[in-house]
Chain A
Amino acid sequence: MPIVKFILSRTWIWSWVAAAGAFMMVMALTQGRGASELAYAALSFGAFAAIVGLGQMLVITLGPGNVDLSIPATMTLAGTLALKTMGSDPNTAILGFTVAIGVGILAGMMNFALIYLLRLPPIIATLAASLIFQSIAIWSNRGLRIKPPEGLADFATGRTFGLPNVALVGLGLSILVWIVLERTVFGRWLLAAGQNLRAARLAGIPVEFVRATTYITVAVFASIAGFFLSSFSGGAALNMGQEYLLTSIAVVVIGGTSIAGGMSNVPGVWGASLFMFLVVSMLNSYGLGAGVRMMLTGTIIIGIVIAASTRRTRA
């Protein structure tokens, strides 16, 4: 039964099955009306979770203890500074994007500098850095809500070939990450370092270079998400990144990436991101509140790590 074996060996299948299930549940209630609208909304909102999730996935792949808690602050900072630079002027989108990327690179370098130079555990380093990023964002924002340039706002909310542009951006980044992980030397290094850092170093892999690059990448991804999210929602809000701290970790875990490191799962992140949005829609349409949704999400996360651990002990 090679097909069954193939399906069971692809952990990302489950997140897609769950997402499809949630989709069907909504459709069952509306008798199939609004299917394309729901799919469109799921792709739009899921894209942001997927972009930050991809970054978080790379960091988590580095192995136990590696996580970036500064994602929300980096998103907010990048969105705020980019919009401020653009100042709603037309034809500044490229400039704004460059600023956002620059913020990401600097934020990632700061995070890794704290980890490497001060020998801080990544949790504490990214936490401390995030407090500073947050302050810079508050200071530069000054409570003003600067509108994104019209063209950029249109792009962020618009569609191409029937797909939301933000989803296309997310898709492009996903393909990039997939190629890096599956086809490049760097990807091999990253996966090896996540399985056993010492063994990777002894195999000649430049592990600190790998770690630094990864921490910078996650910050750049957060910046890209922040840039498009603030353009999408008509301006940067100081709390706009908040929900993405837990979401970014949750989509990685639900998507089937190993929390023990060394194994990434790009399609799973997308499945989980869509699922996270669709399950809200499902519970909303059945009249269940946010509370039930959150409890369900939490239970799923814990269920997945327990299932993964029993599979590990059996293997």
Chain B
Amino acid sequence: MQSAFQNGTPIVALNHAEKHFGAVRALDGVSLSIAPGECIGLVGHNGAGKSTLVNLINGGLAPTGGSVTFPASGESRALSAGVRSVFQELSLCPNLSVAENLRISHSDLKGAGWRKKARAEIIQSLDAVFPDHGIGADTSVDRLTIAERQMVEIAIGFAPRGRDARLVILDEPTSSLDAGIAQQLLAHIRQFCADGGAVIFISHMMGEIFDVASNIIVMKDGKIVANKPTSQFSRASLVEAMGHVGVKNSKAAVRRQASDFGEEVLKSKDGLTARRGEIIGLAGLAGHGQAEALARLYFSNTSSWRMGKASNMVFVAGDRGRDGVLPLWSILRNMTVSILPQTARRGLVDRDAEKRTAADWKTRIGIRTDDVDNPILSLSGGNQQKVLFARALASHASIIIMDDPMRGVDVGTKQDVYDMIQTEAATGRTFLWYSTETEEVCQCDRVFVFRDGKISAELTGDDITEDRILEASFEMQEASA
């Protein structure tokens, strides 16, 4: 490794790497090489292509075009080239102990006494990264706090495991660590890079990026838009490089004022409030508690045991497979499932009323199908989403919760839905709208920005701008040491 460090042969090199998912170009011709000693800060919006890039490098995905090679080691597989990933979602086995989890990712630990070796290795690694961690090697992972689990995962990432780690990819590694522990990690990353390792560091904490990265790569729309030494960026220029995802300030209408809305109809423990007729936006980076806050709100306002003729709250899912679509059913049944009690007589479904509703909404929301009795899965993602919108809007509910509903929806559909939401809001319906796309959030009357599971800012009126939302999404202060 020493020689590799000296002659600067890159650990990994991407040459015009592309990745397509169907028609979507998640990664659009990226060329990049990472040499020993480098610490890359990787930043970008939701959906800019960060995780696709990471998955190409660690071998989780194969490129559609271009190449990914590992020149320094000459290996063809990421794992044997010493590339390690610490994922954002926790990937430990909760039923195993800390040392046993090392065994899962280190298949060379064999024979009698492997436990002793595993214990020594993981404790050594934990000691190196997080002095005074206080984690026992034999503790079962499900007895650890979230922060401790994250520490263990990072330690496994840096542990030798038979061959030394050359490139460690850390995806939001500090998201559940407190500032002191995070500083220990940053110190270790600096040391690791000084010793000839390389790190890709993804974080929403600007302070950390500036603190630890030698280079910053900014991604947008599947491309690298900037790749410069950290010293050439300022906070403002970084935000600017990330921002402006084709925002066309199409919102010509005058912003509505507080006096345009009715009384407050909702107040949650998290601090969300909404008035009648208002469109509330929830913003921030993905995974910072927006979806959970909405789900909690919905669950606490509806019952698993009773369903009246008219519930006052409905939910539009964005993760269609997990939360929305009933896959065995037709378009019609999917559309009407929430409104059946409204027309039912003595518990029997009024099938004529059901048909009328479905035909009505098919034209109103423009679902592209010749027959609403076709299976829901025969529709494209965007049209499935329209069905879910119709399910919610056809009800009598006055509050509509939307959990990032525009995922994978084409532009035309989006515009239709925006208009429909505006019209419905004008009739006094309240919308709570979480979106990962800033452009959408900017159309709302009031915006709550989430960070680390809490509301970090409430924006109203002319304060609702992309820059203000970005500012509130990222931790702008220096990470306190």
Chain A residues proximal to chain B, CB less than 8 Å: 183-186, 188, 191-192, 195-196, 198-209, 258, 262-263
Contacts and interface: CB of A to CB of B under 8 A. Distances in A.
B325 A199 contact: yes
Interface string B348-363: 1101000000000000
9 contacts: A185-B348, A188-B349, A191-B329, A195-B327, A198-B322, A198-B323, A203-B338, A205-B338, A206-B304
Contacts of A198: 322-323
A205 B303 CA distance: 8
B306 interface: yes
Given A184-B348, A185-B347, A199 B322 contact: yes
Interface in B312-355: 314-315, 317, 322-329, 333, 337-338, 340-341, 344, 347-349, 351
Contacts of A262: 326, 328
B13 to A, nearest CB: 37
Residue of A186, A192, A195, A203 with most partner-chain B CB within 10 A? A203
A304 B428 CA distance: 53
B354 to A, nearest CB: 10
Nearest to B315: A202
Contacts, number: 82
Contacts of B325: 196, 199
Nearest to B317: A202
Nearest to A315: B377
Shortest 3 CB-CB contacts between residues of A and residues of B: A208-B304, A195-B326, A202-B315
Nearest to B329: A195
Contacts of A202: 295, 298, 315, 317, 323-324
A3 to B, nearest CB: 18
A183 B302 contact: no
Contacts of A208: 304-305
B306 A209 contact: yes
B223 interface: no
Given A202-B317, A204-B311, A204-B314, A263 B306 contact: no
Nearest to B307: A206
Contacts of B311: 204
A205 B298 CA distance: 12
B317 to A, nearest CB: 6
Contact of A196 (B298, B303, B304, B326): B326
Nearest to A193: B326
A256 B349 CA distance: 25
B391 interface: yes
Interface of B: 295, 298-299, 302-307, 311, 314-315, 317, 322-329, 333, 337-338, 340-341, 344, 347-349, 351, 391, 395
A200 B348 contact: no
B404 to A, nearest CB: 14
Given A188-B337, A209-B306, A263-B328, 13 more contacts: A183-B348, A184-B347, A186-B347, A192-B337, A195-B328, A199-B322, A199-B324, A200-B337, A201-B299, A202-B323, A203-B337, A206-B305, A262-B328
Contacts of A192: 326, 329, 337
Contacts of B338: 203-205
Given A205-B337, A208-B304, A196 B347 contact: no
Nearest to B391: A203
Contacts of A201: 299, 304
Contact of A199 (B326, B348, B351): B326
Contacts of A186: 347
B96 to A, nearest CB: 22
Contacts of A196: 322, 325-327
Contacts of B324: 199, 202-203
A192 B323 CA distance: 12
A199 B341 contact: no
B304 A204 contact: no
Contacts of B328: 191, 195, 258, 262-263
B323 A200 contact: no
A196 B325 CA distance: 8
Nearest to A194: B328
Nearest to B375: A315
A290 to B, nearest CB: 37
A142 to B, nearest CB: 40
Contacts of A191: 326, 328-329
Nearest to A262: B328
A191 B330 CA distance: 12
Residue of B295, B298, B303, B395 with most partner-chain A CB within 10 A? B303
A169 to B, nearest CB: 23
Contact of B344 (A185, A200, A204): A185
Contacts of B317: 199, 202
A258 B327 CA distance: 13
Residue of B311, B314, B324, B337 with most partner-chain A CB within 10 A? B337
Nearest to A182: B349
Nearest to A212: B305
A186 B315 CA distance: 20
A227 to B, nearest CB: 26
Contacts of B299: 201
A183 B328 CA distance: 17
Contacts of B344: 184-185
